[in-house]
Structure 1
């Protein structure tokens, strides 16, 4: 089976969409499929093309046995909402054109959260007269409204209409949470064409282990208790709360060091705030290669999984939680809803009220002073992570694609 996968994010980027697409594509190749990836030049989240790459008309490469075709896009460093939308639209155009120069696929898959990727996927599927699969990792434009990047208005209403049109036209929809599926059904989408396949992790690669002494020395963390945040530093995450917690404990608990690993739209603002407030107990590491992330998980005594408190974010499962679970890193989270239904039965995290500084500080202090509880959370998380092995999840997606292609080949063409 030939699979054409359109995604704006792909390694060497290390965002959850990039890693999910990469792992799935590699697994599908192992299972005998031919996979073509059409993606942009790596630039997320800083909005700068990664070292070793330079934008050109098209660039073909093979990464881990997967054929990758990179297309040029409008890239803006630290851009606002309108410039980012221009970037998204440019990918829609260039990926649509480039996809016409690959061998005809049996199925076309387009993955969000970059919504306009789906427009390109639908267009290409119509040209090739092949089934269109829409993978929904984020409800867009709801998510940009939820974080305040745009307000409800004509533009959002028009995008919602386009969104609904694509949902109806998709031959198969894959969502990463059951809550997303319920929302789509409530909007009139046939539940029979919606499959739920969660995010996951490579459980063979991400394992518990001792804290790396060299990294601890490099960051000046000898004798410190490390409270980490590892992931995108974006508008959705409400990381101001970490700075508030750091300020609340710096005099009383000087042994605690908050370590923020990652980059994104809010990183510079948080750095400037930390400087203004004199928060020497906050360390900003910036973006690290995904191969190095394991060391930071192992370095962490406790990790934070945070999101702003909006109804939409109660439907999501932040991908970082699976990495934390697999590495046995004790978790404190203020994310309720879908994530809570996973963690609570496992007793794999301390779940606190959203946007509650007092509760966050109390949970941090409680866990750092209770090694037995940390070990309980760690063991429960590692056991629970086995349910989210990415290889098995890639197989689940492939089975759904195979069923769809089989049906399309046995029915009359459009």
Structure 2
């Protein structure tokens, strides 16, 4: 990747990147746009991502190599084996991505390496590449993998796995010049374990697509009377962390007859959810495959309530789901089964949103009685958490890191 004198060569490692559908993908694209705005003509930015793989039902091949902005932006998408969502196949797919990324980065001389990581290994990969290139390392952390060991490994393997991945975490973080935490709930973990590092906290945010639609009143619909049909929508991943298979069946069975639950997404626990819905013979639950964002906008418009749920696991007490920002932008009422920092954030920041204890179906029913149906103005929230504003600030910080 050629660069002329005076230019900064930057590498961004992100396993997910558009057209993949995931929070990490949308965040990485927004960061790339912000970096190109901030650095201008004095940057050559190299992005190494995997081919779309977040949801097999939506995985479509993208261009392996894209050269944009007069060659100043190069995107390499690595071909990886398809995975079933299981731990072993995902590990194999990621190993292929890591090895090919190392090969692609080998011949380039970067001044800065950025890694955005949710499952730790991209953080490790970024640390390795930056050490080899003798480059500054900026790490964006979207989850705490070591906290989630209980989800990933059988009980008999957890202690050994925690020791191993804790070592990798230390190795990755101690090489970083700056660490960004996507949730303020992560502070207690990282500040305690790595107190000497430099931290910032640039959260997820609201994409311009949703801001434009909200400004144009696309999400508005005719206000329904008390006895009219109500649609509760969940849109996102259907995995162990969301634990929908434990909450939706009982919750749906307790709903009044004029309520319908619509779920849009995919994930490792989708089959379990479908089987439980089928076993109980629930007619008021409909499950769809993931859809493109423009179609998702229409599904938001037709919804009366937006539903969110996380497992009541200690590791979930620190996270701030990116879906919260998307939901809030619609100005629709929100019912959320969350605890810890996410519960505090919703209570403090989002009007017309009710929180209940995760796994508590009766609490979810009670939460429905606390909301007001229709739109609630959230302009202050939308303006403050627009993703372009947040990413521009993050890009400013990255720019300053290169001058240290």
TM-score range, shorter chain: 0.7 to 0.9
Deviations 1:347-399 (A, max 9, x none): 521111222111101222554xx43xx54xx22x4431221111111112112
Query: 2 CA distance for matches of 1:293 and 1:64?
Result: 30
Q: Distance in 1 between matches of 2:350 and 2:118?
A: 30
Structure 1 distance, partners of 2:162, 2:81, is 22
**Aligned residue for 2:224?**
none
Aligned to 2:18: 11
SS of 1:153's equivalent in the other structure is helix
Q: What whole-Å deviation, never above 9, does each CA across 1:390-412 have from its counterpart, x for those lacking one?
A: 111111211221121101xxxxx
- In the alignment, the residues of structure 1 paired with residue 286 and residue 69 of structure 2 have an alpha-carbon distance, to the nearest angstrom, of 34
Q: What is the correspondence of 1:246-285 to structure 2 with a 5 Å cutoff?
A: 246-249=252-255, 253-285=256-288
Cα deviation, 1:277-321, whole Å, max 9, x if unaligned, reads 211111111111123222222222111111001222111110000
Distance 2:248 2:379 in 1: 25
Match of 2:55 among 45, 51, 56: 45
The ranges of structure 1 where at least 4 consecutive aligned residues each deviate by more than 4 angstroms after the TM superposition are 62-66, 210-213
**What secondary structure is seen at the aligned counterpart in 1 of 2:106?**
helix
2:348 to 338, 345, 348: 345
Aligned with 1:354: secondary structure? coil
**CA distance in structure 2 between the partners assigned to 1:72 and 1:359 by the alignment:** 45
Aligned to 1:172: 178
Q: What is the TM-score of this pair, normalised by structure 2?
A: 0.87
Say whether 1:23 aligns with 2:23: no
8 Å Cα contact 2:34/2:391 also seen in 1: yes
Give the conservation status (yes or no) of the 8 Å contact 1:93–1:120.
no
Task: Give 1:355's aligned residue.
Answer: 359
Asked if 2 retains the 8 angstrom alpha-carbon contact of 1:81 and 1:150, the reply is no
Per-residue displacement from partner, 1:217-244 (whole Å, max 9, x unpaired)?
xxxxxx6311011111111011121121
Match of 1:119 in 2: 124
Q: What SS does the corresponding residue of 1:309 show, helix, strand or coil? A: coil
5 Å-filtered alignment, 1:266-345, equals: 266-345=269-348
Q: Give 1:107 deviation, angstroms.
A: 0.8
Q: Give, in whole Å, the separation in 2 of the partners of 1:195 and 1:176.
A: 9
Per-residue displacement from partner, 1:117-174 (whole Å, max 9, x unpaired)? 12221121122211111211000132242x3654422123111111112111112111
- Distance between the aligned counterparts of 2:210 and 2:9, measured in 1? 28
Deviation at 1:333, TM superposition (A): 1.1
Moved more, 126-135 or 203-212: 203-212
- CA shift in 2, pair 1:313/1:153, >3 Å: same
Q: 1:242 to 1:5 in 2, by over 3 A?
A: same
Q: Which whole-Å CA distance do the structure 2 matches of 1:337 and 1:366 have between them? A: 20
Judge conservation of contact 1:39–1:70 (CA < 8 Å) in 2.
Answer: yes
- Which residue of the other structure, out of 130, 133, 137, is the alignment partner of 1:132? 137
Residue 400 (structure 2) aligned to one of 362, 386, 403: 403
Give the gaps of 5 or more residues in structure 1: 214-222, 408-414
Count how many residue pairs are aligned between Structure 1 and Structure 2.
379
- The alpha-carbon distance between structure 1 residues 365 and 63, as it changes in their structure 2 partners (threshold 3 A), is farther
SS of 2:195 mapped into structure 1: coil
* Contact preservation (8 Å) 1:92, 1:119: no
> Contact 2:52 / 2:60 at 8 angstroms: preserved in 1?
no
Aligned to 2:381: 384
Normalized against structure 1, the TM-score is what?
Answer: 0.85
Whether the 8 Å CA contact 2:328–2:350 is kept in 1: the answer is no
Relative to 1, partners in 2 of residues 1:174 and 1:238: Cα closer, same or farther, differing over 3 Å?
same
Q: How does 1:145-164 map to 2 (within 5 A)?
A: 145=150, 147=151, 149-151=153-155, 152-164=158-170
**1:358-377 to 2 correspondence within 5 Å?**
358-367=362-371, 370-371=372-373, 374-375=374-375
